[in-house]
A and B are shown apart, each in its own frame.
Chain A
Amino acid sequence: MFEYDPVFLSRILTGITLAVHVIFATVGVGVPLMIALAEWMGIKRNDEHYRLLARRWARGFVITVAIGVVTGTAIGLQLSLLWPNFMQMAGHVISLPLFMETFAFFFEAIFLGIYLYTWDRFKKKIYHFFILIPVALGAMASGFFITTVNGFMNAPRGFDLENGVLTNIRPLEAMFNPATPTKVAHVLSSAYLTTAFVLAAIAAFAILRGKDHVYHKKALHLTMTAAAIFAISTAIIGDFSGKYLAKYQPEKLAAAEWHFETSTEAPLILGGVLQENNEVKYALEIPYALSILAHGTPDAEVIGLEEFPEEELPPLIVHYFFDLMVGIGMFLAFVSILYVLFAKVRKWNEWNKPLLWAIVAGGPLSLLAIEMGWFFAELGRQPWLLVGYMTVEQGATTSEHVDLMIVLFVLLYIVLCTTCATVLRKMFKNNPVEKELHDRGME
């Protein structure tokens, strides 16, 4: 039988919780902005279709927020339950953003509650829109604060370690560590991109199924335009992230790229299979691309894995996670820009079937990219929990029964996700757009 290993099991349980939470958290950051865009368009153009769009998105959003809240509570508590030693240390240095995150969420929750119940309560429609601003800002701030904590785990700053004792603690420096700018920007931008694609996929699917109401076309146009913008910003930020890694965590970048020997003019490796003697087969190589990603010039030197002690190397599987994330990102950028182009040129039909199907595929793919990105971020940091200071082994609980808790939480997440999907399906199936347009007397 397996030997009971609380460290490994704690990693599994944290991984499962985060894998579930990150989907709802991403949507939770992104959807308020999309609702705001729709409502703003509705008010500005005096077009009730857009307001209905905002209304329907908001209705679905509450359901996903509920799961986001409860899984967020779960991870918040699990940090202390599964990583008590880490939290004891981190509590001294990085608890400020954790604390502020609860405030940001508090703020968001209050205004979301108000927003949902005041659709027709104000004489001026714009007041209702104003209530959404704190929701979107709160969601963004939550994402910001929590990502700084993750940044801190990658690039710990803001304290001195003297004989095992933490001294001279500087909370703001810990929060604004070198990883923070690129990480926060990447998390927010990719959340907006993903949300736009998920919502676009819904609209595209409706059109594919023969629903020809202009409402769906407006929804598609709004979401795809937003997606194109965020796809470009995500790509630019991704480039900065590469440069951050090259400077501060070269072993992570090298693992992602299977870059074993330090060299100049380093190529970017896509896909492939690793042979026994670290030879890469069947991979697509883009010459100079890794040097450009890392330092911006084709002849720059990129540090290889050989320069790090073997026990401090991340698992090399992260290469696939990285490639999948980047690959999907490229696909999303390509599809959304193509759509915008098709929509601009009159002769071309932006509702052609292949393009619509590509958009539909983009929805689930973008969520997959988010998962891959986090798997890369977290596994790529191994064996460290706090890079250079604490390994996951030192941070984990020594408690028994983590295995039992995994079973408990897996069951919980299965139940929650299935019910969430059923409820959302029923909600929109029982009240299709056409029916609601009719009921509200908009037709």
Chain B
Amino acid sequence: MSYEVIGITVLWTFLYGYLIVASIDFGAGFFSYYSTITKKNHLINKVIVRYLSPVWEVTNVFLVFFFIGIVGFFPSTAYYYGTTLLIPGSIAIVLLAIRGSYYAFHHYGEKGNNFYQALYGATGLLIPASLSVVLTISEGGFIYKYEDSVWLDYGALFTSFYSWAVVILALVSVLYISAYFLAYYAKTAQDEKAFDVLRKYALNWSLPTILASVLVFFALSDHNPEHFDKMLELSWMFSLSFLFFLGAVYLMWKKKHLGVAFILVMLQFATAFFGYGASHMPYLLYPYLTIYDGFTNEAMAVALITAFIAGLCLLIPSLYLLMRLFLFDNKYVQGKK
């Protein structure tokens, strides 16, 4: 494997990690708020709070890791995306900032402040919508280059069918992934009432998820036919993804093996996400930037990959400890600790 491919694989894996943990986090924030206004919060809030509190900060780091990493491995991305994404990027920062800090204010500071809760519940849905814009833009057709300047065509972006399809998929997936995880967590906590509510959420969001995915496929075939053709070559990955989806829904329906059901959800998104990513190669930005012409020098690539491996040696045991103590410690999950 070339350094370029290793680099993008590492980054894409972290983005996938962010997709999963952030979805759980964003969705949980939304469900927590939604259940408060529908007066079901006494059923599921405890589950959500127990899961979210120890891990919220970790989620954010996945994202920071991705955008610092991509500038490290592919410095030219800073030029193209940095110059053009000032407004959407700033809006995403503001949303992330509000969410992160009001989460802390709500949980460590003033418990039960509805306004704070509403803020992080709402931002949880707006953040994925605003971040998904970056993936949309990478398909080309929105960024233009003329001599030494690049700019983003907002008119095209806001009127594009494809960009709205991606936003819908982002929102729906967040709720879907989150509901599956929380349902599993509630079951482990032996909180049957919370489980019933969350299972309903999970099943309700299953069909919309698959419909939104189909919509994105359809929109992409129109927006970027070249990329779409390459996706068809990898159609086995997307078919596999669909099978994982069916398995997850089946298990949730039958209320069996919910841990496995959640793993299937993760696999469903892994296959689709990596299938999308692989077919996107070698472009980082259609048609201006590929992983080969935007790549850093060899010395830096070796240094970054070494740092990455060393970092993982430190992080994996720590993450394992975190999970042992909070996610998979049944006594903790059940609220006995």
Report the bound CA distance from A16 to B308 in whole Å. 32
B6 within 8 A of A: no
Q: Is the CB of B318 within 8 A of A95?
A: no
Report the bound CA distance from A70 to B315 in whole Å. 21
Q: Which of A78-102 contact B (CB under 8 A)?
A: 78-85, 87-93, 95-96, 98-102
B interface residues, tally (CB under 8 Å): 67
Residues of A within 8 A of B110 (CB): 423, 426-427
State the Cβ distance, A423 to closest chain B Cβ, in Å: 4
Contact partner, A62, options B69, B98, B104, B319, Cβ 8 Å: B104
- Stretch of A167-175, A311-319, A332-340 contacting B (4+ beta carbons < 8 Å): A167-175
B71 within 8 A of A: yes
Q: A77-B93, A166-B297, A171-B300 given as contacts; is B69 within 8 A of A99 (CB)?
A: yes
Report the bound CA distance from A79 to B79 in whole Å. 11
Listed by A's residue number, 5 A-B pairs whose Cβ atoms lie within 8 Å are A71-B97, A96-B72, A110-B319, A113-B58, A416-B98
Most chain B beta carbons < 10 A, residue from A71, A84, A111, A121 = A84
Report the bound CA distance from A348 to B68 in whole Å. 54
Contact partner, A106, options B74, B104, B315, Cβ 8 Å: B315
Contact partner, A76, options B67, B104, B297, Cβ 8 Å: B67
Q: Is the CB of A399 within 8 A of B86?
A: yes
Residue of A nearest to B315 (CB): A106
Q: Is the CB of B78 within 8 A of A87?
A: yes
Residue of B nearest to A85 (CB): B79
Residue of A nearest to B78 (CB): A87
Report the bound CA distance from A371 to B67 in whole Å. 27
Q: Which residues of A contact B (CB under 8 A)?
A: 59, 62-63, 65-67, 69-74, 76-85, 87-93, 95-96, 98-103, 105-107, 109-114, 116-118, 121, 134, 166, 169-172, 397-399, 401-402, 404-405, 408-409, 412, 415-416, 419-420, 423-424, 426-427
Residues of B within 8 A of A107 (CB): 314-315, 318
Contact partner, B84, options A62, A399, A420, A427, Cβ 8 Å: A399
Contact partner, A95, options B81, B149, B296, B311, Cβ 8 Å: B296
Residues of B within 8 A of A84 (CB): 78-79, 82-83
B1 within 8 A of A: no
Report the bound CA distance from A409 to B90 in whole Å. 8
Residues of B within 8 A of A112 (CB): 57
Contact partner, A409, options B94, B98, B109, B318, Cβ 8 Å: B94
Residues of B within 8 A of A423 (CB): 105, 109-110
Q: A66-B100, A408-B94 given as contacts; is B86 within 8 A of A401 (CB)?
A: yes
Report the bound CA distance from A408 to B84 in whole Å. 18
Contact partner, B57, options A69, A102, A408, Cβ 8 Å: A69
Q: A81-B86, A95-B72, A100-B307 given as contacts; is B64 within 8 A of A114 (CB)?
A: no
Q: A80-B81, A98-B72 given as contacts; is B315 within 8 A of A169 (CB)?
A: no
